[in-house]
Structure 1
């Protein structure tokens, strides 16, 4: 194969397209994590969403938390990066890279007073304990939250592949 040097715009057009998203792991003093229930899904999620043009992932996290929960949150350190491979089939999706940041802590009382759900997008929120994650979240999100919990206690950042640590 001949190494052809393309003009930048043409070269970039040949590269794969990936999506990026960011979310915040907001918890209480007991380690329960704030989850939201989207109106368009049959499971709960971590607050967050897709990158908008011109944003970096930290800005995305901050914007999504503000839009979804009405909270002015400054994202803390990066806890987890989770690479989600391309999904072919009836619901295709390009590869997706999720960035999860430390969203700090809220008491249940503070959450009740401050959380304002995005109308039409979210139907509920809750502080979910570790034992509830399996029933509320898809398996890859449960693995992702466990990795976030480890990162918080160990002061590390984890890289995952669809919720799994590829180095293990």
Structure 2
């Protein structure tokens, strides 16, 4: 059956989800993918029938080999891409990793080279601008205990020229 005119106008975005993890100094855990030239946070695409929270838990376990509790939503970012189309990205609070979790991290070697804790000031040097903005907005949302809505990593009305 062919889609209706209304259905062809509806967005069908890709969804991805990830978590921000912190150390005792408030630095953010970032991972170095084998297939990108910039650093990321743990996470990935949401599969059909899967919630963004469940996808975050699954991806963290697959990528890092740990299953820490994943907390509240920090940010939702609408970030369409010319190459990939509409995307909606969810960012959750992974909390502070304890020494036991850090000792159990086992990287998914086919996807990740390394991981490091990065100060918020260093994040823009490690990753692409829209991801840096999203991470920093998530750090801020965690500090004020309120989630934030973003477009391309920025609060609407704060777009770069």
Which TM-score applies when normalising by structure 1? Answer: 0.86
**What's the CA shift string for 1:64-110, capped at 9, x where partnerless?**
000000011332000000110231xxxx1111110000001114x44
CA distance in 2, matches of 1:71, 1:167: 38
Is 1:17 aligned to residue 12 of structure 2? yes
| Structure 2 contact 66–101 (Cα < 8 Å) conserved | no
Higher Rg of the two aligned structures: 1
Partner Cα distance (2:157, 2:149) in 1:
9
- Matched residues in 2 for 1:110 and 1:44: separation? 24
Please state how far the C-alpha of 1:54 moved relative to its aligned partner.
1.4
In structure 2, C-alpha distance between the alignment counterparts of 1:93 and 1:140, rounded to whole Å: 15
- Residue 122, structure 1, aligned to residue 115, structure 2: no
- Calculate the aligned-residue CA RMSD, in Å: 1.8
- Say yes or no: does 1:84 pair with 2:79: yes
Indicate which of 34, 37, 47 corresponds to 1:39.
34
2:143 equivalent to 1:153: yes
Secondary structure of the residue that 1:86 maps to in structure 2? coil
Whole-angstrom distance in 1 between the partners of 2:101 and 2:30: 11
Q: 1:145 Cα shift?
A: 1.5
Shift of 1:13: 4.9
Q: Which residue of 1 aligns with 2:97?
A: 106
Report the Cα offset of residue 111 of structure 1.
5.1
Report how many residues are paired: 156
Q: Any idea what the Cα deviations from partners look like across 1:2-30, whole Å, max 9, x if unmatched?
A: xxxxx9x8348523321000000000121
Q: Distance in 2 between matches of 1:51 and 1:130?
A: 26
